[in-house]
Structure 1
Amino acid sequence: MYSFNQRTDTVVIDEPFYPIWLKRIGKVQPHYDEIMLSSQNIDANKIHDKIEEMEKMKGNIFVKNMANTVKDMNKNRILNYRPIFLVRNPAEVIVSHIKLDQSITGEDLCFEHQVKLYDWFQEQTKEDPLVINANELIKDPKSILTGLCDKLNLPFTNEMLSWPAGPKPIDGVWASAWYNAVHQSTGFGQPSSTKLTRDDVPSEFLALYDEVLPYYHKILSHSFLD
């Protein structure tokens, strides 16, 4: 999200459907009251309208979403979008997520949602959606982003490789809880010397890890560089 925000020809919006999802599942997460207050009287079609209006500002729009919010979108309208799936090792996702939310389920982790959404887009458009391996992106962001931009028919720019530290105007109201690490960053950073595995997942979350692992492997198999 921060990478695409550096492009002068692109406007960015942060998880616009998250408040609707949060209200639907009834789960209290950080900044819940503030999120609900900021999203009163909002519905999916109004969000799609906003996306289309913002796109006209610069010509392109990058919308960061979680795959579990697709139920809250208008599927006819998202067929106009180009989906990009960013896939991360579930051990890393779980270990990171439980620092803020110990009540996580497969619904929160989105791996099954990603697979179902990928298959649906493929069936509807007869094209393969774009899938990026997060670890490969961190290893060589210039190559991955160059390949991604080429597939999106956009020119790659070096500005996409770095950004200023700190909060951004595009951040959702939940940013202070979830974005601490990225707020300290000024780029993609260096890959970790150690790769988290099942052994690093706390025992109480091992069943969840085992549940989502097959979906992770399935969506990762579609990575355009794997």
Structure 2
Amino acid sequence: MRIAMWSGPRNLSTAMMYSFGARADFTAMDEPFYAAYLKATGLDHPMRDAVLAAQEQDPALVPLGFVQDGTRHLYMKHMAQHMIDGFPLDWAEDCVNIHLIRHPARVIASYAEKREAPRLADIGFDRQLMLFERLGGLVTDSADIRADPEGMLRRLCAAIDLPFDPAMLHWPAGPRAEDGVWAPHWYGAIHRSTGFAGPEGELPELKGAEAEVLEAAMPYYERLFAERLKNS
């Protein structure tokens, strides 16, 4: 089995990668199109030079690395915004595609703490809906997972015909082998964790440009939210 997990940034995506990576029958891969995305867009992200040096920069060649380790399954953490026009998607047609979402207000507030106030293109909701409409698959909301990690992971595994493994609920604190080279900038909180955090509080109140991005992102999120897998 090859799982392509699509999300935007700041979206429980690394925790989900650690969760599947904690299984003995999975190999995990972290954002393999990141360098290709930076090369194609010219964007100045934190640790840009290190990312470009660490990964394949030709998007056509990136899927050649999607090789399973023996009989193990492959879990690929992908950022929806990385899949800009012209990047290949045919490789994903044979994957189990899962779309991980989080309320845009939380994504925007969290992203702004690590970089700068994001644009819609930085947080990926429009691209994520495009991917869902092209590839199909399942949608799961990070709030549902945080509210009931075991219940939702059991439901998700059942939906893709994968036996649930309790190892998915915990992982050792600190960096992991699958981490991308950008982990020192982005993964501080997850490196202090040993499992999924509990439910979040009230939605952050956004103002100015951030509120405008929220307004633009909400229709995409609401369309995906309507398709989400529920714990029932």
TM-score calculated relative to the size of structure 1: 0.90
Task: Determine if contact 2:111/2:117 at 8 Å carries over to the other structure.
Answer: no
CA distance in 1, matches of 2:213, 2:117: 11
> Percent identity at matched positions?
31
CA distance in 1, matches of 2:83, 2:209: 28
Match of 2:83 in 1: 70
Matched residue of 1:181: which SS? Answer: helix
Task: Determine if contact 2:117/2:210 at 8 Å carries over to the other structure.
Answer: no
CA distance in 2, matches of 1:80, 1:166: 33
Please identify which structure carries the higher helix content. 1
Match of 1:219 in 2: 224
Alignment of 1:183-194 (within 5 A): 183-192=191-200, 194=201
Give the Å deviation of 1:151: 1.5
1:83 to 2:97 alignment: yes
In the alignment of these two chains, the number of paired residues is: 214
Alignment of 1:46-125 (within 5 A): 46-51=61-66, 53=67, 55-71=68-84, 73-122=87-136
Q: Which amino acid counterpart does residue 161 of structure 1 have in structure 2? A: L
Alignment of 1:116-155 (within 5 A): 116-122=130-136, 129-155=137-163
Match of 2:24 in 1: 8
Give the Å deviation of 1:21: 0.7
Matched residue of 1:167: which SS? Answer: coil
CA distance in 2, matches of 1:159, 1:64: 18
Q: Which amino acid counterpart does residue 12 of structure 1 have in structure 2? A: A
Q: Which amino acid counterpart does residue 5 of structure 1 have in structure 2? A: G
Alignment of 1:134-213 (within 5 A): 134-192=142-200, 194-197=201-204, 200-213=205-218
Q: Which amino acid counterpart does residue 111 of structure 2 have in structure 1? A: H
Give the Å deviation of 1:173: 0.5
Task: Determine if contact 2:147/2:199 at 8 Å carries over to the other structure.
Answer: yes
Please identify which structure carries the higher strand content. 2
Match of 1:35 in 2: 51
Gaps of 5+ in 1: 123-128
Compare CA radii of gyration and give the structure with the larger one: 1
CA distance in 2, matches of 1:139, 1:191: 5
Task: Determine if contact 2:175/2:191 at 8 Å carries over to the other structure.
Answer: yes
Give the Å deviation of 1:103: 4.5
Gaps of 5+ in 2: 1-16
Matched residue of 1:23: which SS? Answer: helix
TM-score calculated relative to the size of structure 2: 0.87
1:24 to 2:40 alignment: yes
Give the Å deviation of 1:202: 3.5
Q: What CA RMSD, in Å, does the superposition of the two structures yield over aligned residues?
A: 1.5
